[in-house]
Amino acid sequence: MTRQAHKKALWVLAPALALSGCTLFETAPDDPVMVKLNDLEARMATLERIVQNQSLVNLTQQVNTLERRDDVLEGKVEELQYESESTAERQRQLYADLDARIRELEAQAQASPSVNVLDGGTLPPGQLPVPGGSDRDNYQAAFELLKAQRYEPAALAFEQFLVAFPDSELADNAQYWLAETQYVTQKFAAALGLFQTVIDKYPQSRKIPDALLKIGYCNYELKKFDAARLALTKVQTEYPDTTAARLAGQRLARMDEENV
């Protein structure tokens, strides 16, 4: 073959060889760059699946936890509703029974003046608002009557309490509220003596400031203004950081305005 013929053959084969070289380069399975890229893509896909699966697991666990909490709360709500209804029913029964007993006591008190401790009488047996109950049961029964503004039966109930439970830790409170039943019904002379009993008989009572304040009020209503000022000033002096002291100051200011 001539030199010129060789040149022509090379020109013909050159494009084919070039195309073949490109194809081999693109699909070469041992290319390290392609291997690394494929490996990274595979690892990335695996990580994405793991993250997705873990998120679903966490979400499922959270939902289950919330469902369990909801069941527990629902059970507690039902239990509280039941207890509330039961307690309300017991209270209704207690108050109905207490009301019947108090009415009976009122009738007996009218027929038997000796029941009235205010007049120095004695308490016949079995006349407590809650017969057989504890001192707290009977104190609470008397206090409920006071809150209901049933002052006469409340007074009788507190009187009976003091006779039946003279050593109770609630005796000073009972004495104070007994005095209060007289004060709110404007029996100021009777109330004055009963408030004084709180101070004389229970000197360590937390009710002393309030009792002393009410002594001032009673003397004011009885127009014993000097005695009223003395009691009210004593409240301010001896119990300065109490509500009683603040109220005493207000009444003293009122007396100054009235010039009494």
| Domain range annotation of the chain | 84-168, 186-260
Please name the amino acid found at residue 101. Answer: R
Q: What is the mean pLDDT of residues 194-218?
A: 96
Q: Please determine, for residue 177, whether its predicted confidence score (pLDDT) is greater than 90.
A: yes
Please report, for residues 103, 115, 133, the alpha-carbon distance to residue 98 in angstroms, rounded to integers and kept in the order given: 9, 18, 12
Residue 158 near residue 178, CB atoms below 8 Å:
yes
More confidently predicted of 163 and 127: 163
With 0-12 / 13-18 / 19 or more C-beta atoms within 10 angstroms meaning exposed / middle / buried, residue 40 is: exposed
Closest CA to 98 of 123, 124, 133: 133
Taking each helix axis from N to C terminus, what angle separates 188-201 and 208-221, rounded to the nearest 10 degrees?
A: 150
d(CA 189, CA 220): 11
Residue 47 has a pLDDT of 79
**What average pLDDT does the segment 175-186 reach?**
96
The confidence band for 133, taking pLDDT boundaries of 50, 70 and 90, is confident
Mean pLDDT lowest among 6-15, 24-33, 142-151, 189-198: 6-15
Average pLDDT, the chain: 79
Q: Helix (H, G, I), strand (E, B), or coil: what is residue 167?
A: coil
User: Is residue 56 helix, strand or coil?
Assistant: helix
Is the per-residue pLDDT at 191 higher than 50? yes
Q: What are phi and psi of 173, to 5 degrees?
A: -65, -40
Nearest to 9 by CA among 23, 1, 20, 18: 1
pLDDT at 92 over 80: no
Q: Residue 18: pLDDT above 70?
A: no
> Can you give the pLDDT at residue 130?
82
Check residue 77 and give its pLDDT.
Answer: 76
Amino acid letter, residue 84: S
Tokens 């003091």 sit on residue: 162
Which residues lie closer than 8 Å to 156 by C-beta, 6 or more apart?
A: 102, 105, 106, 109, 115, 116
What band does 126 get if pLDDT is binned at 50, 70 and 90?
A: very low
Q: Mean pLDDT, to the nearest integer, of 229-244?
A: 96
Q: Determine the Cα–Cα distance for residues 146 and 166; give it in Å rounded to an integer.
A: 20
What pLDDT is recorded for position 38?
79
24 falls in which pLDDT band (50, 70, 90)? very low
In the predicted model, what is the mean pLDDT of residues 75-97? Answer: 65
CATH of segment(s) 186-260: 1.25.40.10
Mean pLDDT calculated for residue range 124-143: 81
- Retrieve residue 106's tokens: 């009122």
Q: Is the pLDDT of residue 249 over 70?
A: yes
Mean of pLDDT values over 125-136: 77
Of 196, 167, 168, whose CA–CA distance to 178 is shortest? 196
For the chain, give me the number of helices (H) and strands (E)?
A: 9, 0
Q: Residue 143: is its pLDDT beyond 90?
A: yes
| Residue 72 predicted with pLDDT over 80 | no
Lowest model confidence (mean pLDDT) among 16-30, 156-170, 209-223: 16-30
pLDDT exceeds cutoff 90 at 235 = yes
pLDDT over 70 percentage in the chain = 67
Q: Which residues, 6+ apart, have CB-to-CB distance to 29 below 8 Å? A: none
Cite the DSSP H helix spans in 132-224: 135-147, 151-164, 171-184, 188-201, 208-221
Instruction: Please work out, in degrees rounded to the nearest 5, the angle formed at the alpha carbon of residue 82 by the alpha carbons of 79 and 85.
Output: 150
